[in-house]
Amino acid sequence: MTAVDLSKAIHAREVSCREVMASYLDHIDKTNPRVNAIVTCVDGEALLEQAGEKDAELASGRDNGWMQGFPQAVKDLVPTKGIRTTKGSLLLKDWIPDADGAVVTAMKRDGAIIIGKTNTPEFGYGSQSYNEVFGATGNPYDENCSSGGSSGGAACAVALRMQAVADGSDFMGSLRNPAGWCNIVSLRPSIGAVPSGGTELFTNSMATNGPMGRTVADVALLFATMAGYDAKFPLTREADPRVKALTPANVREALKKDQKGVRVAWIGDWGGALPTEPGVLETCRAAVERMKDFGAAVEDIEPFYNMNEFWETIWLPIRHYCASSLKPWYDKCRQDLMKPESRWEYEGSLTMSAQEVYRAFEKRTEFYHAMLKVYDDYDYIVSPTACCFPFDKNVHWPETIDGTPMRTYHNWMEIVTPWTMGGNAVCTVPAGFGGANRLSIGLQLVAAPHREFEALQFASAYEAVTGFVEKFPPKF
């Protein structure tokens, strides 16, 4: 059952919140041990009691929102009041926050019940969801392979119906790669659409929270819950009225739009600049061809920016700069508890001058203007969600792709980085199954900044002609 249909069933009193909770908890008990997607769980009896309270609210005429009674496990980077939040780090393995993060507050406001936490790599660094606290999360289509990251636990839980929708977050593809590898949908909103941030809220315009679900309509509804202005987050903006007007009753119709004549630019591997595993481009390009079924005009385009220059002068320095946030956890007595990749990110920030940081942001501005020019001729840019298919979950990151050595632990995810720095609205949709193990990969449907609603409409049209989301994980 989709999130849209679950909400309708609860509000029509066809099923009680307590029955929903009991069913989900039973399914989690049977399914989760094989994949390790949900890593901290609230006591089941306490959750059933909360679900009963949601039923009583409905019986009395009180309806919090479309998520009334929804069991929700929250990404383990986001603080949850009274529920352990480790950020995948041994340094925080016993931390119990005294307040909720903004997205948790939003989901609770719409009636959700927090049941636990979903797995993530340490501090969200890396696109493979493993850590020393809980271990690795398996892929829903092959539990021996990775589910991606850093929202890998969330994506796997959604794909295996352990929750109807999920929150995630994205700096370097953390909503996009897991969605692609788990055959689900996600939305990376433009910066400011969803209240997001940590201890520094003014200059970190790269990372954002966002929704994940099995269908575009489900993702759109959770985005409506998350989106909006919050005075505590200075970069936020008022939500698109079309988004805030979405309900389970109207969302599917609202997302319908004639896409005939829409101009699609396929950028693939950026003119051969990015190595890809055999099958990635073929699988994704075949999926792009399906867009012609609803009238889209598809063209291959040449890169509009040099990717090596982008990586060296924009991505790496800004990424290191943002890793300054790791300072509280990095000291001589505790750094041995951090994984090498986290230490490398932070140590890179220690050698940067203010002039180097400023120059990187100048180059980012240059890239941004080059990116905007593409939208003079096209409505959407499309590329794969990763340069490879899911690999062994015990491998931290691939050292080579198609024979090309990776320069860093995250180089294999370079294909998502332009849209982070461009601040684009990106909806990820399944592209099908390929590679030697016939596993899932996704497409990034890249809209211009702040055009989330249009991206969702385009994704809905694509979803209608492909049906990839109907392929249920075979072993479960």
For Cα atoms 408, 406, 277, give the angle at the middle one, nearest 5 degrees: 135
Distance CA 471, CA 331 (A): 47
SS3 449: coil
Told to judge if 186 belongs to the known catalytic residues of this protein, a careful annotator would answer no
- The answer to whether residues 429 and 216 touch, using CB atoms and an 8 Å cutoff, is yes
Contacts of 360 (CB under 8 A, 6+ apart): 313, 314, 317, 318, 321
**Catalytic one of 7, 16, 150, 342:** 150
Distance CA 219, CA 65 (A): 16
Distance CA 190, CA 75 (A): 20
Residue 335, CA atoms < 13 Å, CB-side half-sphere: 13
Contacts of 36 (CB under 8 A, 6+ apart): 119, 134, 135, 136, 137, 138, 153
**Catalytic one of 16, 127, 174, 440:** 174
**Catalytic one of 7, 16, 75, 87:** 75
Using the CB atoms, write b or e for 277-307: b if 16+ within 10 Å: bebbbebbbebbebbeebebebeebebbbeb
- The answer to whether residues 107 and 154 touch, using CB atoms and an 8 Å cutoff, is no
Told to judge if 150 belongs to the known catalytic residues of this protein, a careful annotator would answer yes
Distance CA 151, CA 156 (A): 9
Residues labelled as active-site residues: 75, 150, 174
